[in-house]
């Protein structure tokens, strides 16, 4: 069932809740791929009813980012969701979510702001306000759908850590379920932004997973010094790659590591053909 109105979603989900059914929410920006489908399948496994939201959220894009050209494929998305047995596809307009007029700045809109310590690093360093926008829309979706569980991919590692932190800090009564990264056979992590890449670009983009896998391998061979582990990346990079960051951090708290351990996550962001790609891997 495709719904565009907040009130219609509330009414429908209210029926589920009254019947004692367990409701799962998969928040997406659409352009669904196998990565999203893995979240949906997990939701179908663990919940009685599944809601997938499809909303390209304006307040998590910076002014120079790709909000306007971000892929929008609602018809195909809805078809995929139907095939997976999704109960509700919730695809609101920006106006439905944020009202009329210029209500998107923090001068006029209430924001949920995750802590600086989690935000002032990795993707948050270059994407100012991005995670405020993410937490705000996720909070709105949580309040609209009131699910028992919500499903997020490890692909956006900083995002899921920040959302878990938000849920904990604000006592949100929802269980966050994190699902592993889905990759092409080549190793390339699935992303809606891969659509911007040519075939050659997709080959160049393999460097992200190659660097991460190599770091993981080196760690498993006994190298723990983070500088040394990072150093191993540079042999992979060519002039096709614009590295934004490569960091080794605690996978729960995002504290920087000087010495890697079994709780360490390696995270990378790199531009290929002008497209900003991210990836990450747990060292264990």
Instruction: Check residue 154 for interaction with a copy of itself (CB under 8 A).
Output: no
Binding track, positions 170-189, relative to a copy of itself; x by CB under 8 A: xxxx----------------
Segment contacting a copy of itself by CB under 8 A, of 35-43, 47-55, 113-121, 194-202: 113-121
Report the C-alpha dihedral over residues 207, 211, 214, 216, rounded to 10 degrees.
-130
Segment contacting a copy of itself by CB under 8 A, of 30-38, 48-56, 109-117, 261-269: 109-117
36 labelled catalytic: yes
Residue with tokens 């029926």: 15
Site for a copy of itself in 44-63 (CB under 8 A): none
- The radius of gyration of the chain from alpha carbons, rounded to an integer in Å, stands at 19
Q: Which residue, 171 or 227, has its beta carbon nearer to a copy of itself?
A: 171
**The one among 36, 140, 241, 257 contacting a copy of itself by CB under 8 A:** 140
Segment contacting a copy of itself by CB under 8 A, of 67-75, 102-110, 187-195, 220-228: 102-110
Written as six digits, the tokens of 175 are 């269980």
**The one among 27, 35, 114, 124 contacting a copy of itself by CB under 8 A:** 114
Full DSSP string of 196-210? G--HHHHHHTHHHHH
Written as six digits, the tokens of 166 are 């938000």
The site for a copy of itself, by CB under 8 A, has a size of 29
Q: Is 273 left (phi over 0), alpha (psi -120 to 50) or beta?
A: left
Instruction: Check residue 115 for interaction with a copy of itself (CB under 8 A).
Output: yes
Asked whether 35 and 190 are in contact (CB, 8 A), the reply is: yes
Q: Which of 73, 66, 29, 126 is nearest to 274 (CA)?
A: 66
Asked whether 167 and 135 are in contact (CB, 8 A), the reply is: no
Relative to beta strand 23-28, strand 49-54 is parallel
Segment contacting a copy of itself by CB under 8 A, of 29-37, 50-58, 139-147, 243-251: 139-147
Site for a copy of itself in 4-23 (CB under 8 A): 6, 10
Binding site for a copy of itself (CB under 8 A): 6, 10, 105-117, 135-136, 139-140, 143-144, 146, 165-166, 169-173
Residues with active-site annotation: 36
């Amino acid at each position: 069932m495709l719904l565009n109105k907040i009130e219609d979603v509330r009414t429908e989900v209210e029926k589920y809740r009254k019947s004692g059914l367990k409701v799962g929410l998969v928040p997406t920006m659409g352009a669904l791929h196998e990565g999203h489908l893995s979240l949906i399948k997990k939701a179908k496994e663990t919940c009685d009813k599944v809601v997938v939201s499809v909303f390209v959220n304006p307040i998590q894009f910076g002014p120079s980012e790709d909000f306007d050209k971000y892929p929008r494929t609602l018809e195909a998305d809805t078809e995929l969701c139907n095939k997976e047995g999704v109960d509700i596809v919730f695809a609101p307009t920006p106006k439905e979510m944020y009202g009329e007029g210029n209500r998107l700045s923090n001068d006029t809109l209430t924001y949920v702001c995750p802590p600086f310590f989690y935000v002032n690093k990795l993707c948050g360093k270059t994407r100012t306000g991005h995670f405020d926008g993410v937490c705000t829309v996720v909070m709105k979706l949580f309040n609209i759908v009131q699910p028992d569980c919500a499903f997020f991919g490890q692909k956006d590692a900083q995002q899921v850590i920040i959302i878990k932190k938000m849920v904990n800090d604000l006592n949100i009564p929802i269980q966050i379920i994190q699902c592993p990264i889905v990759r092409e056979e080549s190793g390339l992590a699935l992303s809606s932004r891969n659509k911007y890449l040519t075939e050659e670009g997709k080959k160049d983009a393999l460097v992200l997973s190659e660097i991460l896998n190599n770091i993981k391998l080196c760690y498993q061979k006994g190298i723990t010094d983070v500088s040394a582990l990072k150093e191993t990346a540079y042999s992979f990079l060519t002039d096709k790659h614009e590295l934004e960051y490569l960091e080794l951090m605690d996978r729960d708290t995002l504290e920087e590591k000087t010495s890697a351990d079994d709780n360490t996550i390696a995270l990378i962001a790199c531009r290929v053909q002008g497209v900003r790609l991210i990836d990450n891997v747990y060292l264990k």
